[in-house]
Amino acid sequence: MVLRGRQFDAGSPAVMAIVNRTRDSFFSGNRHGDLEAAKAAFADAVECGADIVDVGGVRAGQEGEAVDAGEEIRRVVPLLQWARAAHPEVILSLDTWRSEVAREASGVVDLVNDTWAGHDRELVHVAAEVGAGYVVSHTGGLPPRTDPVDVSYGEGPLDVVRDVLATLSRGALVAEQAGIPPERVLIDPTLDFGKTTEHSLEVLRHTADVVALNYPVLQAMSRKDFIGETLDLPAEERLEGSLAATSVAAWLGATVFRSHDVRATRRVLDMVATIRGDRAPKLALRGTARPPETDRPANAI
């Protein structure tokens, strides 16, 4: 993946921090209705190691307040404009399904995160017009802010995987045809969206098949319901489960990880990349030489 002149791959995966300009996000730790609070959260994410910051103004699920396009613009655009000036090195992502919101963010966004799978067919074209990358997602055909009910992709456990692969392939082709270079087209299996917990777990196990489509893969798993249901835990207690899922997806080749917990995710990704052999350790001193005399314990022989 190449965005804003920076390249990310298996040896240097990207952490995408989440800053929600909402009062009703499912995770209470990421509710920033106040602009100044959102700025502080943004700066903290960068300090913790975020490469990308994803800014959204509407809760994904059907619960919560109604937000029209005008209100969404008022929530996200001022934060993005401030961020571009205050943190010019950071890749800015806009989490929206509305083309009018993306158009208002022209000149400041590097990536449009369309989490509702092209519901607004103009959005991918607006992303191309403003020179941004684009996230292709899979929602099982559901419209925005719709929670899955009685979802089925067929009789076999792999049917959901086949649907994800086919949908992402088509969406990526549409993005390229709109004029977005393939290195700026991210594909996201979009776990939880249009999926049961069993579906999400099956798709996660097949991350390598998504990687084999030859586009950068985004995994957005942080504190999601499939983790909560797997462990029977509320959103506030899903960190360890999120990091376990992150480790698996990283080992299988995903490149970008959307997370509420930037520092922990950064460390997990660096460790996985090093274990796999794609990244050198920061230090490799143990057992290589006798420590200097001043560093030896007082009781050493």
- The answer to whether residue 253 is domain-embedded is yes
Is 286 inside any structural domain?
A: yes
Contact assessment for residue 185 and residue 172, using Cβ atoms and an 8 Å cutoff: yes
**pLDDT tens sequence across 223-245:** 999 999 999 999 999 999 999 99
Could you say which of 258, 267, 279, 282 is catalytic?
Answer: 258
On whether residue 37 sits in a domain, the answer given is yes
> Domain span at residue 227?
2-295
Higher pLDDT, 237 or 288: 237
> Among this protein's residues, is 195 annotated catalytic?
no
Q: Is residue 203 part of a domain?
A: yes
Domain count, the chain: 1
pLDDT recorded at residue 28: 64
- Mean pLDDT, rounded, for 164-169: 98
Mean pLDDT of 14-24: 91
Helix boundaries (H) for 56-180 = 69-86, 99-104, 123-129, 159-177
Any domain includes 268: yes
For the chain, the distance separating the N- and C-terminal CA atoms, rounded to the nearest angstrom, is 53
Q: Which domain CATH number covers 66? A: 3.20.20.20
In a domain, 278, yes or no: yes
Q: Is residue 300 part of a domain?
A: no
pLDDT tens, position by position, 96-133: 999 999 999 999 999 999 999 999 999 999 999 999 99
Least confident of 28-32, 48-52, 222-226, 255-259: 28-32
Residue 301: inside a domain, yes or no? no
Out of 184, 223, 224, 238, the active site residue is: 224
- Rounded distance between C-alpha atoms, residue 245 and residue 14, angstroms: 16
Whether 258 sits among the annotated catalytic residues: the reply is yes
